[in-house]
Amino acid sequence: MDRPLRVAIVGAGPSGLYAADALASQDDVPVTVDVIDRLPTPFGLVRYGVAPDHLSIRSVRDKLDAIFDRPGVRFLGNVEVGTDLTWAQMEQFYDAIILAYGASRDRELQIPGEDLEGSIAATDFVNWYTGHPDMDPDEFTDLLARARSVAVIGVGNVAVDVTRVLSKSPGEIEHTDMPQHVFDALRASSVREVHLIGRRGPAQANWTTKELRELGELSECGIVVDGGAEVDDPASASAIASDKATARNVAVIAEWLERSVADQPRMIHVHFRSRPVEIRGDGRVQELVLERTIIDAEGRATGTGETSTLPVDVVIRSVGYRGLPLDDVPFDGSRHVIPNDEGRVLGDGGPIPGLYVTGWIKRGPSGIIGTNKKCAVQTVSGLLADAQAGLLGAAGGATAAAVDAALTGWQVVDHDGWRRIDEAERALGARAGRDRTTVHTREDLLAASR
């Protein structure tokens, strides 16, 4: 090939940007990279998934941002593949396409009453408090104003984040980059009890120790374990003995069990071995029915038939993310991922030439931010090997100017546009004594980018 390889990456989150970095940092195959995202801003779940009070984790975006400074890498924000750029155009313009658009929706509990008012997805609540442009600023304002008791279903870090945000005092979140409407809604919140519910025991939970420990360190919130924290079953004993992180988590729970119940304005109640089986209410959430479980030898939760009823006003489900299909691309509907072999997308006849996948839409929602780097390197290694072997097919590989011409009339946010958004957010935050305040509407983001 007498020109650089042209690669499009669909999705500007960590997995997409790590793929761009892997492509741009090698010398074997000359390459140019367009990182395309439907949002005007890059960074994906680092911006719209990591809790705003975890500033050190959110600072990863500064390292990701530097990837756009690499020669041959550019950002095309506010561009939706399939609409603003058709799939036929993508195949014409690029020699290879890497899909890195993640897993953006929640998994459902699939229990009666899940559609009642006040039953919501953690993905939506997280998008709201991080200022995602797809969320109505008033989406949860009234709900928080009237709710006193909230159940959060799940024992992963997202469930812990949601519990912590709901339970912190206003003073503990004012340093964050939340949009102003989120500050106002949380300040006016009537929530006084948060019930964190897991169907298995503490040895089977998926949270990390740092995030877990923070729940017991809130200034105006007590914490109590309401039941099911036993670890005397064989599966729990084995998990504790074989995994140091699990042992640390169980030790945190054991410390909470020894605490006296504090007289605090807010309380967190932790329920283990409790499986939601029904949400009840007259048009809106009023009760959550829980079934007691036992842990079998394989660490699975089995229902006992013994139920209890928890009065709650809101149920937030946080039982995992799932990927969504893309038109004309193979999809595994049972696992909610794109079928692949080490990143090569698989069709009925084997690998599809020039089509690759990385991140959560490749492997499912697992791992931490850094996990995506190894995942992206694997995908890019396969792509480069295919390029050198002449296996990418007969794509057009049109110039960047041809892509720009196809998007004429559409407001594309490039990297300079993102930097202007960044400056606007820092200026907005400075007026409130913060490092940054997130600009949350698409209109305002596009205006700032200009």
pLDDT per residue over 345-371, tens digit each?
999 999 999 999 999 999 998 888 889
For the chain, the C-alpha Rg in angstroms (whole number) is 23
Is there a single domain that holds both residue 227 and residue 305? Answer: yes
Tens of pLDDT along 148-167? 999 999 999 999 999 999 99
Between the alpha carbon of residue 118 and those of residues 159, 162, 313, the distances in Å are 16, 15, 7
* Structural domain total, the chain: 2
* Residue with tokens 């020894």, as numbered in its chain: 258
Of 301, 321, 341, the one marking the end of a domain is 321
Question: Which of helix, strand or coil describes residue 225?
Answer: strand
Is 316 part of a structural domain of the chain? yes
Is 435 part of a structural domain of the chain? no
Percent of the chain surpassing pLDDT 90: 85
Is there a single domain that holds both residue 271 and residue 351? Answer: no
Pick the residue with more confidence: 1 or 418? 418
Is there a single domain that holds both residue 137 and residue 69? Answer: no
Is 449 part of a structural domain of the chain? no
Is 30 part of a structural domain of the chain? yes
Q: How large is the average pLDDT for residues 239-261?
A: 94
Is 426 part of a structural domain of the chain? no
Is there a single domain that holds both residue 112 and residue 79? Answer: no
Is there a single domain that holds both residue 288 and residue 386? Answer: no
Between the alpha carbon of residue 322 and those of residues 100, 345, 439, the distances in Å are 14, 18, 27
Is 209 part of a structural domain of the chain? yes
* C-alpha closest to that of 367 among 157, 130, 219: 157
Residue 395 has a pLDDT of 61
Is there a single domain that holds both residue 59 and residue 139? Answer: no
Q: How far is it, in rounded angstroms, from Cα 372 to Cα 200?
A: 28
Is there a single domain that holds both residue 149 and residue 134? Answer: yes
Domain with residue 372: its CATH number is 3.40.50.720
Is 440 part of a structural domain of the chain? no
Whole-prediction pTM value?
0.93
Q: How large is the average pLDDT for residues 96-112?
A: 93
Query: Nearest 5°: CA angle at 47, between 42 and 51?
Result: 170
* C-alpha closest to that of 120 among 279, 332, 257: 279
Is there a single domain that holds both residue 135 and residue 260? Answer: yes
Tokens of 197: 């519910």
Task: Give the structural domain span for 294.
Answer: 106-321
Is there a single domain that holds both residue 305 and residue 272? Answer: yes
Is there a single domain that holds both residue 307 and residue 342? Answer: no
Domain with residue 210: its CATH number is 3.50.50.60
Question: Which of helix, strand or coil describes residue 74?
Answer: strand
Residue 104 has a pLDDT of 83
Q: Please say if the pLDDT value at position 261 is more than 80.
A: no
Is there a single domain that holds both residue 167 and residue 218? Answer: yes
Is 422 part of a structural domain of the chain? no
Contact (Cβ atoms closer than 8 angstroms) between residue 17 and residue 42: yes
Is there a single domain that holds both residue 343 and residue 362? Answer: yes
